[in-house]
Amino acid sequence: MTTATITSYLSEHRERHLEELKDLLSVPSVSALPAHNADTLRAAEWMSESLRKLGMENVALHPTIGHPIVYGDWLHAGEDKPTVLIYGHYDVQPVDPLHLWDTPPFEPAIRDERIYARGASDDKGQTFMHIKALEAVLATTGTLPFNFKFCIEGEEEVGSPNLPAFIEQNKKLLAADVVVVSDTSMIEEDKPTICYGLRGMCGFQLDVKGPKRDLHSGLYGGAVANPIHAVVELLGSFHDGDGVVTVDGFYDKVVPLTVEEKAAFEAIGFDEAVVKEEVGVQEFYGEKGYSFYERTWVRPTLEINGVYGGFQGDGIKTVLPSEAHAKITCRLVPDQDPDEILALLQEHVTMHKPAGVEVTVSLFDKGAPFVTPFNHPAIQAASRAFEKVWEVPTTFTRGGGSLPIVSTLDEVLQAPIVLMGFGLPSDNVHAPNENFKLKNFDKGLLTLCAYWEELAAALDVE
Ligand SMILES: [Zn+2]
């Protein structure tokens, strides 16, 4: 495969590709709204038809109790060749407030070198690009360097309720050596970005119970424990004065950054003044010796998200409340295990429980952190593909938040995950006037084609 033939194929077929994309974007597959169930199904069928045309086999809509999952594969590279799984989603966010759209969300329109429509960036446009990149490789070389599988779901925008069970039940069907997901953004325009890790999460609620009813603070204050005092004492016990979490064993499994990763984060550049202004604080806070990106991407946290109890009205009320509550979440990093951390937190609460109150801990949903090693060939090949097409160094990031589907793919399939996103912060995803920049569409297609070539070289596939 040569870059020149791919480039000319893509430019020759660009008009048709854009027409096809418009066709896909005109289907209002809003997964959250039952009124759009037939449309959402139509988008699934559109995807499967498109996979069939591409030459994928075993194309099927796998039913779930919600929207179906589209699967298709091409396994003709041979059993000895690696397999790549491409994940995407064909469902979109609701469109309201509708009056803020300059053109209707399901009547795709091209203006200012962008294509406007719900799903243009998230994620129909980016999923479509994967299909078209493989079309270009197949058309110009007659073959593909790897076995390919597609898994395109229709419930990402409602939290992927049925995907984990599907992956779990179809481990063999989906088994892959590399998983590629294009559902994220570049850090800014012309800065191709690879996010190679995300934090996990676990959360719990503290319920502190004191006297069986609210008491008069004049009659009982000083002699009966106040649950709010107890909550404050407990909450205060989670950190020391330097922002370090004091829960025993909390940091035991945290993997330190490598020298290469530190250098990659430093290369991004961080304008402290801009971010301070943006969030409205005079100074940052956090663990000593770590940069902003390190604190938010690769260090775990324990955050108190809410505290409530007692009298909240105007003026004062001399009450000794009967209960108080707090909600707490932790952001976790590799190799912390959410269950182990929850056990440590429970132990901490038991050890620090103030006298005179009862404390219960209830656990919330949790998700494991994920990282594909920075030096993994699948990550470094992606970086080279970006650099080839964009002609600037690739930016490496990690995310402070969590993407539940990614941790499920990571945990069940045990394959490196490459997040190659072509969106931009200006794409207005989940908002009115969602759009996708055509430059990113064009260069993104080239990048994906270049990636298969770079990855083949990295994995030593002829
Ligand atoms: Zn998405």
- SS3 string, 372-441, reads CCCCCHHHHHHHHHHHHHHCCCCEEEEECCCCHHHHHHHHHHCCCEEEECCECHHHCCCCCCCEEEHHHH
Mean pLDDT of 152-177: 96
Share of the chain above pLDDT 90, in %: 95
CA of residue 126 to ligand 1 center, whole Å: 9
CA of 119 to the centre of ligand 1 (A): 8
Per-residue pLDDT at 112 exceeds 70:
yes
Ligand 1 centroid, distance to 78 Cα (angstroms): 31
Average pLDDT over residues 156-167: 95
Residue matched to tokens 């319920």: 207
The pTM for the full model equals 0.90
Residue 404 pLDDT: 79
367 vs 199: CA distance, rounded Å: 9
Tell whether the model's pLDDT for residue 171 goes beyond 80. yes
CA dihedral 286, 290, 294, 296 (to 10 degrees): 0
- Alpha carbon of 89 to ligand 1 centroid (Å): 7
CA 223–ligand 1 middle distance (angstroms): 55
pLDDT-based confidence at residue 365 (cuts at 50, 70, 90): confident
**In the predicted model, is pLDDT for residue 462 greater than 70?**
no
* 19-54 residue pLDDT tens: 999 999 999 999 999 999 999 999 999 999 999 999
Query: For position 461, what pLDDT does the model report?
Result: 83
Tokens of 132: 């078209």
Confidence band (pLDDT; 50, 70, 90) for 1?
low
The strand order across the sheet containing 435-437 reads 109-111, 114-116, 435-437
Q: If you measure from the C-alpha of residue 388 to the centroid of ligand 1, how many angstroms do you get, rounded to a whole number?
A: 26
Q: How far apart are CA 461 and CA 447, in angstroms?
A: 19
C-alpha 415 to ligand 1 mean position (Å): 21
Q: Are 452 and 145 in contact (CB under 8 A)?
A: yes
pLDDT in tens, 278-292: 999 999 999 999 999
Among the residue ranges 106-115, 243-252, 364-373, the one predicted with the least confidence is 364-373
Ligand 1 centre to CA of 98 (Å) is: 20
How far apart CA 415 and CA 195 sit, in angstroms, is: 16
Q: Which of 185, 89, 95, 28 is nearest to 433 (CA)?
A: 95
Max avg pLDDT among 125-129, 185-189, 265-269, 272-276:
125-129
Q: What's the distance, CA 145 to chain centroid?
A: 28
Q: Is the pLDDT of residue 9 over 80?
A: yes
- pLDDT category at 397 given cuts 50, 70, 90 is very high
What is the reported pLDDT for 403?
Answer: 80
- What pLDDT does 279 receive? 92
For the segment 93-122, the average pLDDT, to the nearest whole number, is 97
Return the minimum-mean-pLDDT range out of 194-208, 399-413, 447-461: 399-413
Q: Is pLDDT above 60 for 168?
A: yes
Could you please report the per-residue DSSP string of 1-56? --HHHHHHHHHHTHHHHHHHHHHHHTS--BTT-GGGHHHHHHHHHHHHHHHHHHT-
Residue 272 predicted with pLDDT over 60 = yes
Region 146-152 average pLDDT: 98
What is the C-alpha to C-alpha distance for residues 177 and 37, in angstroms, rounded to an integer?
34
State mean pLDDT over 314-321. Answer: 96
Query: Ligand 1 mean position to 341 CA, how many Å?
Result: 29
How high is the pLDDT of residue 3? 82
The Å distance, Cα 55 to ligand 1 centre, comes to 25
For ligand 1, the distance from its centroid to the CA atom of residue 420, given in whole angstroms, is: 13
Distance between Cα 362 and ligand 1 center (Å) = 30
Residue 402 pLDDT: 81
